[in-house]
Amino acid sequence: MLTLKKQYGELAPSERLLLGPGPSGVDPRVLRAMSTPLLGHLDPEFLEIMNETGELLRYVFQTENNLTLAMSGTGSAGMDTILSNLLEPGDKAIVAVCGVFGERMVDIAGRSGAQVKVVQGEWGRIVEPEAVEAAFKEMPAAKLLAVVHGETSTGILQPLTDLAAIAHRYGALLAVDCVTSLGGAPVLIDEWGVDAAYSGTQKCLSCPPGLSPVTLNEKARAVLQRRKTKVPSWYLDLTMIERYWGKERFYHHTAPISMLYALREALRIIAEEGLEARWARHELNARAFIAGCQALGLAPFAQEGHRLPSLVTIRIPAGVEDAAVRRFLLDEYKIEIGGGLGPVKGQIWRVGLMGYNSNRRTITLLLTALAAALSAQGHKASAGAALEAADAVYGAGR
Ligand SMILES: *Cc1c(COP(=O)(O)O)cnc(C)c1O
């Protein structure tokens, strides 16, 4: 008999302002929805909740795709779903990479048994369409082009329309990672010609991590139906999961009921605000934050004109210690921001201004906290100047 050596206290997480790359802050309405009583996963009432979630997802993705649903799992489950359902051994695929999440796509695409060609872009910049075109010239039989829309490791927002045109000219599908862009920047699946896309609940949808919305158009669905081999993952096999979300209600796995309550509420909040207003809000707050940072002597990292409004990257000034600043923000202000990954580790901070947390109050507090953290490091920084610069963007003046 194994016995416990200590008493475990009741869970009491500290207050945090989550301004890192995810998870992001959650609207209290979403937490309330999650704590409502469970329904059975085939209860007619729950099936209606699934239908409504599908309708709301089509609005947020701006698509009429029938095959639009939420996979059980975090954003990476969506990445795995799209790539492992659309690729099989012997296929050819091109992946555009300019950060960590593009690299993850390469890893997953390779595991499907496909031959993968990487278009390597520079960290902090978009991948240029010419480079993608050149890759198709070398691999004209590629079945799929995969790319990250909002690259959370660098803060880049990749334009997609040129890439869609190139992929379609070569008869390939365009598959897109919208994890950090959906709900925070325009994502127009149908208008832009995106054939398959996935996202996650824990970024701009302001919902806890746990579901991954995906959408596939009829062209992508036909590719799925023509597969010669079974999807290697039973759990992520869309040919079965679409039968649960569709009319048939075929039992596959038990839907994470409370997570679906959460997602439905989060999407309802987005619908109330309206997508265009939400995109404009993210854009304005990102601009105000960047202006404030510049007044603090912090330069933006991501390429100008292609900055992701939901995740701002800033260069850490010389002589300032990355970990000490992040620790100060957490200890003194209960604020979490993210550090750099891979080649930019220790060189940049990643600040998530996503969904519920993209607002003037948050930015005012964060700029004040950053000024204090930098001053504690001996870096000359004036909170007053930062707030004035941000206020100028908001049009408030002083
Ligand atoms: C966060 C993120 C993912 C992975 O999502 P998880 O929820 O961590 O599994 C994938 N792609 C991008 C661009 C992300 O920002």
Q: Quick check: 391 and 398 in contact, CB under 8 A? A: yes
Mean of pLDDT over the chain: 97
In this prediction, what percent of the chain has a pLDDT beyond 70? 99
CA distances from 106 to 27, 94, 96, 101, 200 (A): 34, 9, 9, 9, 19
Flag whether 19 is in a domain.
Answer: no
- Statement to judge: residues 280 and 265 lie in one domain: no
Nearest-atom index, ligand 1, CA of 311: 15
CATH of the domain at 111: 3.40.640.10
- Statement to judge: residues 391 and 255 lie in one domain: no
Ligand 1, pocket-test mutation among 100, 101, 160, most atoms within 8 A of CB: 101
Token pair 């945090």: residue: 16
CATH of the domain at 370: 3.90.1150.10
pLDDT tens digits, one per residue of 201-211: 999 999 999 99
Does ligand 1 have an atom closer than 6 angstroms to the CB of 101? yes
- Of 248, 251, 263, 318, the C-alpha closest to 78 is 263
- Statement to judge: residues 259 and 353 lie in one domain: no
What is the DSSP code string of 37-73?
PP--TT-HHHHHHHHHHHHHHHHHHT---SEEEEEES
In this prediction, what percent of the chain has a pLDDT beyond 90? 98
pLDDT tens digits, one per residue of 294-306: 999 999 999 999 9
Flag whether 103 is in a domain.
Answer: yes
pLDDT of residue 396: 63
Rounded CA separation 108/128 (Å): 23
pLDDT of residue 191: 98
pLDDT tens digits, one per residue of 235-289: 999 999 999 999 899 899 999 999 999 999 999 999 999 999 999 999 999 999 9
What values do phi and psi take at 57, rounded to 5? -65, -40
pLDDT of residue 382: 95
pLDDT of residue 342: 94
- Is residue 228 pLDDT above 70, yes or no? yes
Flag whether 358 is in a domain.
Answer: yes
Does ligand 1 have an atom closer than 6 angstroms to the CB of 152? yes
Nearest-CA residue for ligand 1 atom 3 is 75
Q: What share of the chain is helix, strand, coil (3-state, %, to 5)?
A: 45, 15, 40
- Statement to judge: residues 146 and 293 lie in one domain: no
Flag whether 352 is in a domain.
Answer: yes
- Statement to judge: residues 246 and 349 lie in one domain: no
CA dihedral 316, 321, 324, 326 (to 10 degrees): 10
Nearest-atom index, ligand 1, CA of 202: 7
* Ligand 1 centroid to residue 201 C-alpha, Å: 10
Does ligand 1 have an atom closer than 6 angstroms to the CB of 71? no
Q: Quick check: 99 and 156 in contact, CB under 8 A? A: yes
pLDDT tens digits, one per residue of 32-84: 999 999 999 999 999 999 999 999 999 999 999 999 999 999 999 999 999 99
Residue after which a domain boundary falls, among 241, 271, 301:
271
Does ligand 1 have an atom closer than 6 angstroms to the CB of 54? no
Of the pLDDT bands very low, low, confident and very high (cuts 50, 70, 90), residue 29 is very high
Residue after which a domain boundary falls, among 252, 271, 290:
271
Rounded CA separation 365/28 (Å): 20
Nearest-CA residue for ligand 1 atom 5 is 75
pLDDT mean over 17-32: 97
- Statement to judge: residues 192 and 316 lie in one domain: no
pLDDT of residue 110: 97
- Statement to judge: residues 283 and 254 lie in one domain: no
- Statement to judge: residues 279 and 259 lie in one domain: no
- Statement to judge: residues 62 and 207 lie in one domain: yes
Does ligand 1 have an atom closer than 6 angstroms to the CB of 202? yes
Flag whether 391 is in a domain.
Answer: yes
Does ligand 1 have an atom closer than 6 angstroms to the CB of 179? yes
* Ligand 1 centroid to residue 215 C-alpha, Å: 16
**Cα four-point dihedral sign 13, 17, 22, 28:** positive
- Is residue 181 pLDDT above 60, yes or no? yes
Nearest-CA residue for ligand 1 atom 12 is 179
Q: What range does the domain containing 356 cover?
A: 274-397
Nearest-atom index, ligand 1, CA of 148: 13
Does ligand 1 have an atom closer than 6 angstroms to the CB of 198? no
* Ligand 1 centroid to residue 181 C-alpha, Å: 11
Flag whether 5 is in a domain.
Answer: no
- Is residue 19 pLDDT above 60, yes or no? yes
Does ligand 1 have an atom closer than 6 angstroms to the CB of 180? yes
* Ligand 1 centroid to residue 184 C-alpha, Å: 14
- Is residue 24 pLDDT above 70, yes or no? yes
Of the pLDDT bands very low, low, confident and very high (cuts 50, 70, 90), residue 155 is very high
- Is residue 398 pLDDT above 60, yes or no? no
pTM of this prediction exceeds 0.85: yes
pLDDT of residue 172: 98
* Ligand 1 centroid to residue 135 C-alpha, Å: 25
Residue after which a domain boundary falls, among 225, 241, 271:
271
Of the pLDDT bands very low, low, confident and very high (cuts 50, 70, 90), residue 222 is very high
- Is residue 397 pLDDT above 90, yes or no? no
Does ligand 1 have an atom closer than 6 angstroms to the CB of 72? no
Nearest-atom index, ligand 1, CA of 200: 7
How many folded domains does the chain comprise?
2
Flag whether 15 is in a domain.
Answer: no
- Statement to judge: residues 247 and 282 lie in one domain: no
- Statement to judge: residues 232 and 350 lie in one domain: no
- Statement to judge: residues 168 and 305 lie in one domain: no
* Ligand 1 centroid to residue 86 C-alpha, Å: 19
